Structure 1
Amino acid sequence: MIQFILNNQVIKTTANAGITLLDFIREHQQLKGTKIGCREGDCGACTVLVGELKSNSVTYQSITSCISPLGNANGKHIVTVEGINLPKELNTVQKAMTDNYATQCGFCTPGFVVSMTGYALDGNKTTSCNDAISGNICRCTGYKSIEKAGFEIEQKLQQKDNNHQIEWLIKEGFIPNYFETIPEKLALLQPKTFEKTGVKIANGTDIYVQHADKMAEEDVHLLTDQNALKEISFTEGFCTLGANTTVTEIAESKKLQTLFPKLKQFLKLVSSEQIRNMGTIGGNFVNASPIGDMSIFFLALNSTLTIQKEDGSTRQVSFQEFHQNYKKYDLQEGEILQSIAFKTLEEKEFFNFEKVSKRTHLDIASVNAAGRISIENNIITNAHFSVGGVAPIPKYLFNTNEFLLGKPICSETVKEAETILQSEISPITDVRGASSYKRLLAKQLFFAHFIELFPNQVELKKLIA
C-alpha cells in the first residue's frame, strides 16, 4: 500500500503506482486547484511540492505532477495549492500576486503560487524567486507583474530565520500551522517497498511525456527509492554519480561547484526548476535524445558508465560508445544504469558548456555543445568535445578531438578543427532549425568554447576572418 501525506491528510492507497500524481490528486482526491495543462511538464500548471524527511526536518522541492508516477510520492509530503491556504486570509505569496495584479484568467496562478512557496521553503536557495518559476508559463498576464510579486517575496524572505524556518514562515503567513507536524507524521509512515518488476522508471520526465496513459495500467519498477543510485562520491581522482542523481543534486553539490565554477550557470540552461528537481542523469542518457543536455555534458568529460545486470554483477562501457544509433544504446534486457564516472579536472584542464534554444529556460536545445581540454606550455595535450542536435545520437567528436592533440592553442588551430567538426556531423532540418542553421550553431558554439576559455590566445575577429 502506498502511504504519503497529501497536504494535512495521511493517504493510504492501493491505486496503481504508475498513474500520474496529478490524476490521483484531481480525480481520486478531488483537489482541482492543481491544473491540467500540457501534460508534458512544460507549463507548470500542475506544480506541487514534494517534501522528504531528512535528519528530522523536511526538505521541499517543486515538481510537475503531470509526469510524476504516484508511487514516487511514497513516504513523502505532497503539497498542493489547497495545502498552503490559510483559514481566513490569503497567504503571503497569494497576496503578493494580487497586490501586483499578477493574475488574470487565473488558470496558471496556482502553479506560480506553489512554485513561489517552494522557494520560500527552501532554506538553501542562492537563486532568485524568478528562477523558481522558470518552469511556469502564463499566457495572459504578462510576466512583469509576476516578477514584481516575486521580487516582493524575495524582500520579505531576507528577514527569514533559517534556524527556525518553518516557525518563521508560519508566523509570516507563508504556510499554515500544520507544517510543524509533518516531520513527526512522516516518521510514522510505513511506506510500501515496491516489487522490482515491470517498466523501469526513475522520475518519469521522459517516459510520462509519451506514455502516461499506458503507465497508468502497467506494473512499474520504480528506481527512486534505491539510494545507492543517488550517491555522488569522489575517490582517487574520480567523481562517480549514481544514475538516479538529479540535475538539481548535481548543481547543489559543493565539490562539483568547486570543479566547475560555472556549474549552476550551465545547468540553469537545462529545462526548468521543476524538471531539474526530477530529471535524473541516467534517465537523460537512456532517453537517448540527440540533444540530451546531460549526455552532451558528460560525453565531454570522457566518462565511463557502470551497468548493472539482473544478477547484481556489473560491466563498464565508455560513454562515447554507449549510444549506437537513433534511440538505440548499449543496454541489454534486465540491465540498468548504475553510475557514471569521470576523472576530475586537474589544474591545467578546462571545461565549458554551451546551449542555444528558442527560449533561454524550459526548452530543448537546437544545438548544445561541451568541451574538456588540457593545455601545457600552450599545447593541447587532451581534448574531448561533444555536440548535440547535429547527428542521430549525442555526438562525441572523435576526429576533431584527435586533430587537436599536440596543436598550439590559437585561432588558426580552432579554425582548422572546426572544418573537421563539420565533416563529422550530419544535422537534419526539423522544427528546431534548418540543417544549415544547425551547422552554423555547431561552428559558433565550438568557437565559443575557446573564446570563453582562452580569450588571450583565441580571438573572435581572427575566427570569423
Structure 2
Amino acid sequence: MITFILNNKTIKTSEHSGTTLLDFVRYQQRLTGTKIGCREGDCGACTLLVGTLNGDTMEYQSITSCISPLGNAHGKHIVTVEGTNLKGKLTATQEAMKANYATQCGFCTPGFVVALTGFALSNSENNYSNAIDAISGNICRCTGYKAIEKAAHQVVKKLDNQEKNSFEWLIENEFIPNYFESIPQRLKDIEAKELNQPKGKYVSGGTDLYVQQADNLTDNTVHLIADKTYLKGIIIENGICTIGTNTTVSDLWNHKKLNSVLPNLRRHLKLVSSEQIRNMASLGGNLVNASPIGDMTILFLALNSEVTVINSEEKERAILLKNFYQGYKTYDLKDGELLKTIRFKLPAKHSFFNFEKVCKRTHLDIASVNSAIHISLENETITEAHVSIGGVAAIPKYLHDTSAFLTGKLLTTETILEANAMLQKEIAPISDVRGTSDYKRLLARQLFFAHFTELFPNSFTLKDFVQHA
C-alpha cells in the first residue's frame, strides 16, 4: 500500500506504483491546478514539491510529476499548488506573481508558484541567482520572463530575514499554510514500511524512462529503487570519491567537498537539465540510459571512472566505465544486475578538469555535442589525460587514442593540434536533427580547443588554434 501525505491529507492507495504522480494527482484526487503540458519534464507545468523527513528536518525539492512514478511518493509529503494556498488570501509567492503582472493565460503559473515556494522552503542561499535556478525548468509561453523575474526578485527580498528551516517564520510571513508544521510528526506516525515490490523493470528517478516508456511503465510491473539506501551517498576517502548510483545531480550540486575539489562543478551541472530534473535524475539511470549525449556519462568518462555492478545474489564486480558501452544502447550489464557505485580519483593539485556543451538553447536541452577532459601536468608535460565526447558516435565516447597520444607530450599548441587530428579519426558523427556530421566535427574540434583555452587562458587562445587548424 502506497502511503504518503498529499497537501494536508493522508493518502493510502493500492494504485499501480508505476502510474505517474501527475495522473494520480489530477485524475484520482482531482487537484487540477497541476497542469499537463509536455509530459517529458521540459515545461514545468506539472511541478510539485516532495518533502522528505531527514531525522527531524523536512527537506523539500521540486520535481516534474509527469515523469515521476507514484510509488516514489511513498513515505513523503507531496505538495501541489492547492497545498500552498492560504485561506482567503494570496501567499507571498502568489502575491509576487500578481503584483508584477507575471501571469497572462495562467496555464504555467501554478508551476512557477510551486517552484518559487520550493525555493523559499529550500536550504539554498537566498539570492536572485538561486531563485532563477529554482524556476529554470518552468516555461511560460505568453507573458515573457521579465515580469516573472521581477516576481522572483520580490520573493528574494521578502525572504531577506528568513530563519532557515523555520516553518514558523514562513507561516508568519505567508509563504506556506500552517499545516506544514504538523507534517514531520505526521510522517513519523505513518511509519511507511518499504514497499513490497514484485520483480519488474528497475526504475529510479524515471527521468529518462518515463519520457520514452510512460504508457508501458504505467501498465506493467516496475521495481522502484530510488529509496534504496545502499545505492545512495557520496563518500570521499584517500583521494577517491565513491558515489551511489541513486545519487542525484542535485546531490552533487550540494556537496561542499566535491565542489571544493572541482570548483567549476556547479557551472558544469547548470548545463545539465533544470533544477526539477536535477532533483530527480539518478546518476545510475543516466549511465544505463546509454545515450550517446548523456551529460553525466561524458563527465564521468573523463574522470576515468569505475563502476561497481551488483547482482541479485549481492555479488559484485567492477568495470571501467570506458569499457562499459558495447554499442548503441548496449552495455556490459546482465539480467538482474544493477549499477551500485561510481568511483573515480579526485583531481590532484596539478590536475585540471573541464566540461563543455553545445545545444540549441543554453539550458534544459540535450547536447548537439558535449565533451569533458581531465589532464595532469608536471613541468609542462602531460602525465595523464582522459578525454570524452558525446554526440559523435553510437556510444558516449571515451577517446582512447587521443588520450593516449596526449600522455607524455609537452602542453603546446602543436600537441593540441595534433591531438585534434587524432580526435577526428576516432569519431564518426552522423547527420540528424541536431546537426550535420560536418557541423558536429567542427563542434568537436572547437570544444576540444575550448578545454585548453578555459583551463589555461594565459597560454592559449582560440585564435592560436583556429589559424593553424
Task: Provide the TM-score with structure 2 as the length reference.
Answer: 0.98
Q: Secondary structure at the match of 1:137?
A: coil
Aligned to 2:268: 266
Q: Provide, for residues 244-272 of structure 1, a one-character-per-residue CA deviation record: whole Å limited to 9, x for no partner.
A: 10000011111110110011111010000
Residue pair 1:196, 1:222 contacting (<8 A) in 2 also: no
Aligned to 1:416: 418
Give distance in 2, aligned partners of 1:322 and 1:222. Answer: 23
Give distance in 2, aligned partners of 1:346 and 1:5. Answer: 46
The one-letter amino acid of 2:374's match is R
The 5-angstrom pairing of residues 24-423 of structure 1 reads 24-125=24-125, 127-162=129-164, 165-194=166-195, 195=197, 197-423=199-425
Q: Provide, for residues 328-352 of structure 1, a one-character-per-residue CA deviation record: whole Å limited to 9, x for no partner.
A: 1111000000011001111111100
Residue pair 1:409, 1:458 contacting (<8 A) in 2 also: no
Residue pair 1:3, 1:190 contacting (<8 A) in 2 also: no
Give distance in 2, aligned partners of 1:213 and 1:191. Answer: 27
Aligned to 1:6: 6
Segments of 5+ residues of structure 1 without an aligned counterpart are none
Q: Secondary structure at the match of 1:338?
A: strand
Give distance in 1, aligned partners of 2:136 and 2:78. Answer: 21
Residue pair 1:409, 1:457 contacting (<8 A) in 2 also: no
Give distance in 1, aligned partners of 2:23 and 2:428. Answer: 41
Aligned to 1:464: 466
Aligned to 1:434: 436
Give distance in 1, aligned partners of 2:407 and 2:213. Answer: 45
Residue pair 1:232, 1:242 contacting (<8 A) in 2 also: yes
Give distance in 2, aligned partners of 1:240 and 1:213. Answer: 35
CA shift for structure 1 position 196:
5.2
Q: Provide, for residues 310-341 of structure 1, a one-character-per-residue CA deviation record: whole Å limited to 9, x for no partner.
A: 10000111100111111111110000000110
Segments of 5+ residues of structure 2 without an aligned counterpart are none
Give distance in 1, aligned partners of 2:230 and 2:312. Answer: 16
The one-letter amino acid of 1:170's match is I
Residue pair 2:198, 2:221 contacting (<8 A) in 1 also: no
- After TM superposition, the structure 1 stretch with the greater mean CA deviation from structure 2, 147-156 or 42-51, is 147-156
Residue pair 1:39, 1:209 contacting (<8 A) in 2 also: yes
Give distance in 1, aligned partners of 2:285 and 2:400. Answer: 25
Q: Provide, for residues 158-216 of structure 1, a one-character-per-residue CA deviation record: whole Å limited to 9, x for no partner.
A: 11112x62111111111000000000001111324232511100010011111111111
Give distance in 2, aligned partners of 1:459 and 1:358. Answer: 24
Q: Secondary structure at the match of 1:216?
A: helix
The one-letter amino acid of 2:182's match is T
Give distance in 2, aligned partners of 1:79 and 1:269. Answer: 27
Q: Secondary structure at the match of 2:171?
A: helix
Residue pair 1:97, 1:149 contacting (<8 A) in 2 also: yes
Give distance in 2, aligned partners of 1:128 and 1:307. Answer: 36
% identical equivalent positions: 59
Give distance in 2, aligned partners of 1:361 and 1:151. Answer: 21
Residue pair 2:248, 2:282 contacting (<8 A) in 1 also: yes
Give distance in 2, aligned partners of 1:229 and 1:125. Answer: 28
